Amino acid sequence: MKALVVRLDSFGDVLLAGPAVRAVAAGCSHLTMLCGPRGADAARMLPTAPLLRLAGVGRIGADSVDHPGRLLDERHRRLPDRHEAQAALDTATALGFPPTAGDDGPLHVVPPPDTGALTGHGPYAVLHPGASAPARAWSPDRCAEAVALLADAGHRVVVTGGPGERALTRRVAGDLAVDLGGRTTARTLAGVLRMADAVVSANTGPAHLAAAVGTPVVSLFAPVVPAGRWAPYGVPVILLGDPSAPCADTRALVWPVPGHPCQDEVTGQDVVRAVHKLMQEGSS
């Protein structure tokens, strides 16, 4: 049997589907994944279920309440308060692809490379200042403050970011941190995150990649989406942000600049304390 798994979302969303993808792969002879770059525009114009039906796919199931019944052979409704990774695995199980024996559903990626040449030697913490949606980001000034305070506390700091975030990472790193803005691929970023003592990030792809390589996360979690569904999964996590802020559960992902007002209540000292707590728990 051949299977197709569709996740037309951002980098982190695809990572969270990993446990479900493993379950499907174990139950079929050939697996194909259909993904898009950060949520393909085509997916917004043409719903995936009609596309698959037109392509002749024989059996279509989804975690969905939106598609008309004629487009889905099996509609799976997620259980309340399920994390996105758990809900995806529930959907795969409902379609006949339970996890294999011994797979308890954590996030995993292929082993990343050695990135010591990028980060330098010795322990370090990572701060990732960007986010795919500005409403989820911490402001650049707060990020720079956290870098300075972490450095004052004796930490080496590595600042990461994509090719379009070089100006941001340069501003945040200053002269105090290693600036890797635009210098990593997804695989080398995984290596950088794997060797970190802790990763500080908004609710965006690298936070989930850190979880996939087993690194604790200080999550600067804007409450525009529910933490129970989208927080880093399967690793020690400290969530920073007010879950009762006015923007809570609004899905207000459009914001003109990085640094939603709800997020800037979090300070650099809050981050330093959270990093220390995760490091102490990891060494005990």
Q: What does the block give as tokens for 232?
A: 């880093």
* Phi, psi dihedral angles at 32 (to 5 degrees): -120, 135
User: Higher pLDDT residue, 165 or 57?
Assistant: 165
Q: How far apart are CA 137 and CA 14, in angstroms?
A: 20
Predicted pLDDT of residue 40: 34
Q: Where are the domains of the chain?
A: 2-94, 116-283
Checking if the pLDDT of 268 tops 90, the result is: yes
Quick: pLDDT tens for 73-96.
566 677 888 998 898 888 888 888
- Range with top average pLDDT, 13-17, 105-109, 147-151, 202-206: 147-151
Backbone angles phi, psi at 243, to 5 degrees: -70, -15
If you search the block for the tokens 């005990």, which residue do you land on?
284
Q: Which residue has the higher pLDDT, 155 or 73?
A: 155
Give me the amino acid identity at 183. R
What per-residue confidence (pLDDT) applies to 275? Answer: 98
Overall average pLDDT of the 243-261 stretch: 67
Q: Which fold is adopted by the domain 116-283?
A: Rossmann fold (3.40.50)
pTM across the whole model: 0.82
The string of pLDDT tens digits covering residues 184-236 is: 998 999 999 999 999 999 999 899 999 999 999 999 988 778 888 889 999 99
Count other Cβ atoms within 10 Å, centred on residue 70. Answer: 9
Top pLDDT among 168 and 67 is at: 168
pLDDT of residue 46: 32
Average pLDDT over residues 57-85: 68
Query: Does 39 have pLDDT greater than 50?
Result: no
* Mean pLDDT, rounded, for 131-155: 92
Label the pairing between strands 178-181 and 237-240.
Answer: unpaired
What pLDDT, on the 0 to 100 scale, is given for residue 18? 77
Task: Flag whether pLDDT at 66 surpasses 50.
Answer: yes
The predicted pLDDT at position 43 comes to: 29
Calpha distance 284→273 (Å, rounded): 17
Q: Which residues, in sequence order, are CB contacts of 3 under 8 Å at separation 6+? A: 24, 25, 27, 28, 30, 31, 32, 97
Share of the chain above pLDDT 90, in %: 43
- Alpha helices in 120-226, H assignment, sequence order: 140-152, 166-173, 186-194, 205-212
User: Bigger pLDDT: 283 or 86?
Assistant: 86
Average pLDDT, whole number, for the chain? 83
What is the spatial distance between Cα 73 and Cα 70, in angstroms, rounded to a whole number?
A: 7
Backbone Cα Rg of the chain: 20
In angstroms, what CA-CA distances link 284 with 122, 192, 216, 235?
Answer: 20, 23, 14, 15
